[in-house]
Chain A
């Protein structure tokens, strides 16, 4: 068994999440589809611990294994190797209907032959709850998702956003220990999606239920999650709070997948304990955290976020000399594509003040400067 967790799971900033007990644990879980030539390793020794009451997001590009991991927690797929624990107990052998876990499907999968209320009642009825309790809970759920007026409609007679709410209410009604959500917002238009993001966050806080949320939208992941696991090719690359993932990406993939970023070739100059000095193009130096393996003389990749770059007319300070290649006006921000003397390109994003964007024109000679703390190095 490979030990992965230790190196990628950094301590969380809000000590809160780590203090709570583990709710879902994947222990070195692998999933192989097919066999022989068509063998496909959808998950490769994935280990992750999701804590009680967390809003945990699985983020990654299409085909990286997010749905597969979710379906294994729900019980629709079984691990080829490894174990899945729920609230401390190994559930690998339990069928879906014995797991206190509910799913909000991407297609919603609302039962077309039942009403809104009938859909919400389904799980409770299957659990054999008394009729009075079922009726009470259904009322409460309808109120919670603000669908009281629609209780007797068939699910084909309500809008997409309303179906989304019913799917949520149906999955929350039996009060599962964990709610799994597989890209539940991807079918909604932008405005509705923003509304539902807030709504989801509210429901999670209100119910205190552990949410495992799947998305390939990095912005959605950053705004909603307590912690994010970034996945690629069946592996988890980094686990951390949105802030950690964004500010301290572990590797090239995470850095480029989450938000925009600039990559710069750098060399390690000196090292003192965890930290060290790195030399950037144009002779600039920066102080930053280094990974264990890095020693003076090593070539490393450094990253800097576009919004951490300042753009000033040439000669005003000690920045990287560059010329403006393209200017893109984005409303709240202006984006400058800068060409360094070495030919490398940098993107800077500058917030527009009340008087509009700073008056720089294409071809202008500028300097791009940044706080020494804004630079990070990547592991690979």
Chain B
């Protein structure tokens, strides 16, 4: 009788909890499941199942445009995530391994600015500035795309690195200094090895974020600088074949692998 009042409140016993949860998951993953299934369609349609085949993976693999876009995506994501990770590491050190200074909160906000400013605004701003530079210099290489990606990847690399540094006991660095290590050696022999999982996690997150960016890429890229996502967008405007599904499925695979590794690394303690 009194039993019910003794039980702790649990959201699981609220009416409709299970059905709402199921519906949410269905809406989240249903479309992706369908996309992946149709990547293996033998027919030309993305809505009419005609049997199992790997033909669209082969088509995509052999498509030189896809090859080029993939290669370009990897270069941009690689260079941008590397740059962003170096910058983010320095930013994280500068915001956690210094005495509190006035304006540190503002700096923190500035570093994370790309997370808060609407992406389209950054895209338009970059388009205008880069256009001016491109006209002035006559140079329109991939470097613009890499710079743009590096900029918006910084906060994604910064957050896990900062979290790692904040979770790290300062005693280790104090102990190293006590054991005759000058500041540079403290960093090289103690801080860096201990923060490495955070750096790797940050780099992978930045890589994934860069890899699937569309908005900023679409605005910043020069002619013939399609990345995989912008190439796919272009394809969809013309005609839709399961080739797009196949590319998406491959991209999904890569992302899932990287993000899984990210979470594993991030959960490692010390």
Binding site for B on A (CB under 8 A): 74, 76, 95-98, 101-103, 105, 107, 109-113, 122-123, 126-127, 156, 170-171, 174
Contact A96-B172, Cβ < 8 Å, known A112-B194, A112-B270, A126-B185: no
Contact A109-B171, Cβ < 8 Å, known A97-B180, A174-B180: yes
The verdict on B176 contacting chain A, using a C-beta distance below 8 Å, is yes
Q: Which of B133-181 contact A (CB under 8 A)?
A: 169, 171-172, 174-181
Interface of A is mostly: mixed
The verdict on B182 contacting chain A, using a C-beta distance below 8 Å, is yes
Interface residues on B, range: 10 to 19
Which residues of the other chain, A, contact B169 by a CB distance below 8 angstroms?
107, 109
CB of A106, distance to nearest CB on chain B (Å): 9
Contact A109-B193, Cβ < 8 Å, known A126-B180, A156-B270, A174-B180: no
Contact, CB under 8 Å: A111 / B175:
yes
Measured between alpha carbons, how far is A101 from B177 in the docked complex, in Å? 11
Which residues of the other chain, B, contact A126 by a CB distance below 8 angstroms?
176, 179-182, 185, 189
Interface of B is mostly: helix
Closest residue of chain A to B186, judged by CB?
A: A97
Contact, CB under 8 Å: B180 / A105:
no
CB of B168, distance to nearest CB on chain A (Å): 10
CB of B250, distance to nearest CB on chain A (Å): 36
Q: Which of B217-247 contact A (CB under 8 A)?
A: none
Measured between alpha carbons, how far is A249 from B129 in the docked complex, in Å? 78
Contact, CB under 8 Å: A105 / B179:
no
Contact, CB under 8 Å: B171 / A96:
no
Measured between alpha carbons, how far is A109 from B189 in the docked complex, in Å? 14
Binding site for A on B (CB under 8 A): 169, 171-172, 174-182, 185, 189-190, 193-194, 270
Closest residue of chain B to A101, judged by CB?
A: B178
Which residues of the other chain, A, contact B177 by a CB distance below 8 angstroms?
76, 95-97
Interface pairs A-B: 6 shortest CB-CB: A123-B179, A109-B171, A126-B180, A109-B175, A96-B177, A126-B181
CB of B80, distance to nearest CB on chain A (Å): 29
Measured between alpha carbons, how far is A102 from B175 in the docked complex, in Å? 9
Closest residue of chain B to A96, judged by CB?
A: B177
Measured between alpha carbons, how far is A123 from B185 in the docked complex, in Å? 11
Contact, CB under 8 Å: B175 / A103:
yes
Contact, CB under 8 Å: B175 / A105:
yes
Seed contacts A111-B175, A113-B194; 20 additional CB < 8 Å A-B pairs: A74-B178, A96-B177, A97-B180, A105-B174, A105-B175, A109-B172, A109-B174, A111-B172, A111-B190, A122-B179, A122-B181, A122-B189, A123-B180, A126-B181, A126-B185, A127-B180, A170-B179, A171-B178, A174-B179, A174-B180
Closest residue of chain A to B193, judged by CB?
A: A113
CB of A308, distance to nearest CB on chain B (Å): 44
Contact, CB under 8 Å: A102 / B179:
yes
Which residues of the other chain, A, contact B194 by a CB distance below 8 angstroms?
112-113
CB of B97, distance to nearest CB on chain A (Å): 15
Measured between alpha carbons, how far is A103 from B177 in the docked complex, in Å? 10
Which residues of the other chain, A, contact B178 by a CB distance below 8 angstroms?
74, 76, 96-97, 101-103, 171
Measured between alpha carbons, how far is A150 from B190 in the docked complex, in Å? 21
Measured between alpha carbons, how far is A107 from B175 in the docked complex, in Å? 10
Measured between alpha carbons, how far is A171 from B171 in the docked complex, in Å? 14
Which residues of the other chain, B, contact A98 by a CB distance below 8 angstroms?
180
Which residues of the other chain, A, contact B176 by a CB distance below 8 angstroms?
111, 122, 126
Measured between alpha carbons, how far is A102 from B179 in the docked complex, in Å? 7
Measured between alpha carbons, how far is A127 from B182 in the docked complex, in Å? 10
Measured between alpha carbons, how far is A123 from B175 in the docked complex, in Å? 10
Which residues of the other chain, B, contact A127 by a CB distance below 8 angstroms?
180
